């Protein structure tokens, strides 16, 4: 039994994230949306699910999340995956330097980890509730399908993961599975899952085995959504004087 002891901050909920970002009287997801719009945070990723005995324990989760936060993607976690990341030291505020410069700045300002553990594998709805709150806060589109977000279960092993993944896709979230996917390529069913659903306004499925490839697929989708929202390029910040305010009011 390893003698090392590691700490992880767990149990973030929609309500606590709101409180963490705005306090008791100004709780809001607007600070998160604002930092996505200004580019400090590239997007949000949900990395969830089991560890799979077919691969080296924890390795895919750790490499994947390390690549995501390095590219300024805030990661939300549930299930066994967050235990893997807690052991690697990602679920504490002191892990902020592991993130890219933008995400690291936000984490240090708020005092939060770059990876937020939301609960057990049956708490995946907390991720969707948080995503819905982002839409409600404004500035990032009108539905979950517009958000610069993506999800994945890199080491899924239980059939319930497919049901969970499908309700994320049906809600509008691009979802990547590792290890493999139980469908036959080039069939009508496969093409519907991996392309057709997105054309209907939902999310879509993706699959890959390499953690870096999964991260790049998720980041590419996030960047595509940023471009569609018109927030893919940095904008010069300007001070608004009284004359500008009168123009806005007129």
pLDDT means per 10 residues in the chain (250 residues)?
A: 84 89 85 94 94 90 96 94 91 95 95 92 88 94 95 91 93 94 90 93 94 97 96 73 76
Q: What is the pLDDT of residue 235?
A: 66
The phi, psi pair for 199, rounded to 5°, reads -65, -20
How many Cβ atoms from other residues are within 10 Å of residue 221's Cβ? 23
Residue with structure tokens 């504490």?
Answer: 92
Distance CA 198, CA 132 (A): 18
Q: Is the entire prediction scored with pTM above 0.85? A: yes
* Nearest partner of 180 among 209, 215, 160, judged by Cα: 209
Q: What is the pLDDT of residue 236?
A: 66
Structural domains in the chain, CATH included, are 14-249 (3.40.50.2030)
Q: What is the pLDDT of residue 238?
A: 67
Distance CA 90, CA 68 (A): 12
Q: What is the pLDDT of residue 6?
A: 85
Are 220 and 75 in contact by the 8 Å Cβ rule? The answer is: no
Q: What is the pLDDT of residue 75?
A: 97
Q: What is the pLDDT of residue 168?
A: 95
């Amino acid at each position: 039994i390893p003698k090392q002891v590691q700490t992880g901050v767990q149990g973030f909920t929609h309500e606590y994230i709101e409180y963490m970002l705005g306090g008791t009287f100004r709780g809001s997801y607007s600070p998160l949306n604002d930092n996505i719009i200004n580019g400090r945070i590239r997007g949000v990723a949900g990395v969830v699910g089991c560890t799979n005995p077919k691969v080296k324990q924890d390795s895919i989760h750790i490499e994947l999340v390390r690549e995501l936060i390095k590219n300024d993607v805030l990661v939300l976690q549930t299930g066994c995956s967050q235990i893997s990341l807690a052991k690697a030291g990602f679920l504490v505020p002191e892990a902020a330097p592991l993130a890219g410069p933008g995400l690291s700045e936000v984490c240090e300002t708020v005092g939060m980890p770059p990876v937020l553990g939301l609960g057990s594998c049956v708490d995946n709805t907390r991720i969707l509730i948080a995503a819905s709150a982002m839409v409600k806060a404004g500035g990032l589109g009108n539905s979950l399908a517009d958000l610069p977000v993506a999800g994945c279960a890199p080491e899924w092993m239980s059939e319930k993961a497919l049901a969970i993944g499908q309700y994320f896709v049906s809600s509008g979230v691009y979802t990547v599975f590792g290890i493999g996917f139980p469908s036959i390529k080039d069939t009508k069913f496969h093409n519907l899952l991996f392309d057709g659903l997105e054309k209907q306004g939902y999310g879509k499925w993706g699959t890959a085995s390499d953690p870096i490839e999964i991260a790049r697929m998720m980041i590419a989708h996030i960047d595509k959504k940023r471009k569609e929202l018109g927030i893919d390029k940095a904008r010069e910040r300007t001070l608004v004087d009284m004359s500008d305010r009168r123009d806005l009011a007129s």
